[in-house]
Every structure is written in C-alpha cells, then in structure tokens.
Amino acid sequence: MTVSSAPGKVYLFGEHAVVYGEPAVPCAIERRATVSVEPRADDHIRVTARDLSLDGFTVEYSGSTGDHPDVNVPTPLVEAAMGYIDAAVEQALDAASRENVGFDITVESEIPLGAGLGSSAAVVVAGIDAATRALGVELDPREIAERAYRAEYEVQDGQASRADTFCSAMGGAVRVEADDCRTLDAPNLPFVVGFDGGAGDTGALVAGVRDLRERYEFAADTVETVGDIVRNGEQLLADADPEEPPTDELLAELGNLMDFNHGLLEALGVSSRSLDNMVWAARMAGAHGAKLTGAGGGGCIVALDPTPETETGLRFTPGCEDVFRAELATEGVRVEAGHAGDTPTEGTAE
C-alpha cells in the first residue's frame, strides 16, 4: 500500500480575484489529507472516505461516479468527493501510461469539505501522488500540481484556479497569477482559523461575483483592488526575513490588508453573517487582521494573532463550531508509507 498526504491552505489574500487573472497568496497549513492506494487485480475502484464531514462512507464501482450506491450523506457532497477521486485516478493512469487498473483507496482528512481550506485540492494532490507511486512512477511536485489543476478544472466545469492545487503540492506560501505560479519565502505566520461548521456553494458564489463584475464597473474595480492588496502583501512578505519570527509591524501591516480584503469580499456578496461574526470577534480579541478564506458563504475565517486571545474569543462566538491554530506547512505533498512497485494483473469489471 502506498500512502501520500498533502496540506490544506488558507488564503492570506486574493480569493475570487484570482479567477480573473489577479494574483493571490495562499499559504499551506498543517492540516492534511491522506490518501492510501492499493492496486487491485480488476478495474474496480473501491473508495473508503473518513473524516470528510460526511460521517464516512464506502463506495465500490466501475467506470463512472454514477455507479455508486445510496449512502446516508448529502448526494452533492458524495458526487463531488467521488468526482475529485475519479479525476485524480484518471490523471495517475495517464501519467503512468496505464489503463484498466483498479484501486482500493482510503481517504482520511483533517480538512472539512467546502470550508475554504482546500480539502478537494489536498485530496487530489495526495491521490495523484499515491496512485502514481503505486504504479511505479514518481512525479515532481510541480507536475502533480499541474495534473491536480487539470482534475479540479474538469470537476469544477472550468472554474478552478491553480492556487489551491499548486499550494497543496508545493507547501509554504505561494503566489499564483493566472498560469504564473511560484513559491514565496515567508515567515511562519501565526494563523488562527475559525470554522462555522458549514460550507458555501463555490459554484454559485463564483457565478455571483461574475454577474456583479459584468453588470457593474465598480464591481470589476473592486476585483482589481483585491489584486492591488495582494501585490502590497506580497511585497511585505518579500521584505521580511523568513528565518525569523514575524515582527509586530509586519503582522500589523498584513492584518490591515486582510481587513481591507475581507471588506471587499463582503461587498462582492461572498461573506455571511457567521463569517462576519467570527471576523469581528477575532478583531475585538486583538487579532492583527481577519478575513474569510476560500469561496465564502460559510466555512472558515483566518486571523493573525500570536497570542491565545483570538482562539479564546472565537470559542465563545455564537456560530463558531471549531477554532484551531494552524502552522505554516513548509512541506507540500509527501509520501508517508509504501514505495513504487508492480501492480496486480489487469482484469475486467464484473
């Protein structure tokens, strides 16, 4: 069995604007998705998913995600999860120049689905790495990032950006602007994440921003302003010493930009009452800055605070279901166990 893991992420700046070619700076965090892969003697895919905010499920099928049984979880979430796993398997088979290979796959994740922490990207990145290694092929992280992006692009009907998958594959802080993806040297920022227990509808939220942008010139200007915020934040990180703890001055400047970014996202209609409540609770507790992370509509906020005060404040905030400190994940996708080897004899679906 081959086991790989990949980290989730928070957006320091730039979600939604990145869809329109503006830059974004996501940061990998030490909340990881782990995918275990064992090739089978037939071409069936058997997936066991745990800890994906779905109460767990097991599915065995052949040929398409439409061929799975009823499970006691919301159908759209199951279909989304299976779609990402299918796409990852397709990319792995293509990379290894193989066909008609089945897998037993187990997915375990510390990252809630749809919460803005890059759960799907982490699962796809770890899945491609584990499956290709199980087929005797080892890919460079940048190729894994590219293939994971193609998988997400397919599942999300062309609405994916490279930000989540590149960040998950490479680790650390990254900058993504259209097809230009690069890693950044950044200090270990003191992230605090608050989670409202929900998940936004990414497709609907992206479509809503697109509609506003097409209808109103000032909405298009708002998206461009988010890009300006990202550029300012990127310069602050470039001027910082990545080997030293971040200074209070750096945290204050980054926090101001995060606050501006959240306000613009709120104006674009992608925040929610629960997210706004958590953002304000974090600021009132003394965080240097706070904003939603990801598509919005529900899910998570991220704040900068090296003290325990923001964590304490969020724990007593109505609507906040969970809060945790998130260290910067300096390592992206990695193999946890197993090694490349031969696959069983190919077979046919029953």
For 223-259, how does the pLDDT look when each residue is reduced to its tens digit (9 = 90+)?
A: 999 999 999 999 999 999 999 999 999 999 999 999 9
Enumerate the active-site residues: 164
**For residues 31 and 291, what is the distance between their CA atoms, to the nearest angstrom?**
19
Per-residue pLDDT band at 210 (split at 50, 70, 90): very high
Q: Give residue 69's pLDDT.
A: 43
Q: List Cβ neighbours of 155 (8 Å cut-off, separation of 6 or more).
A: 80, 83, 84, 87, 120
Note whether 336 and 2 are within 8 A (CB): no
Note whether 295 and 206 are within 8 A (CB): yes
The domain locations on the chain are 2-184, 191-326
Which of the two residues, 199 and 290, has the higher pLDDT score? 290
Note whether 95 and 133 are within 8 A (CB): no
* CATH number of this structure's domain 191-326: 3.30.70.890
Of all residues in the chain, the percent with pLDDT exceeding 70 is: 87
* CATH number of this structure's domain 2-184: 3.30.230.10
Q: Does residue 341 surpass a pLDDT of 60?
A: no
Tell me the whole-structure pTM to 2 decimals. 0.86
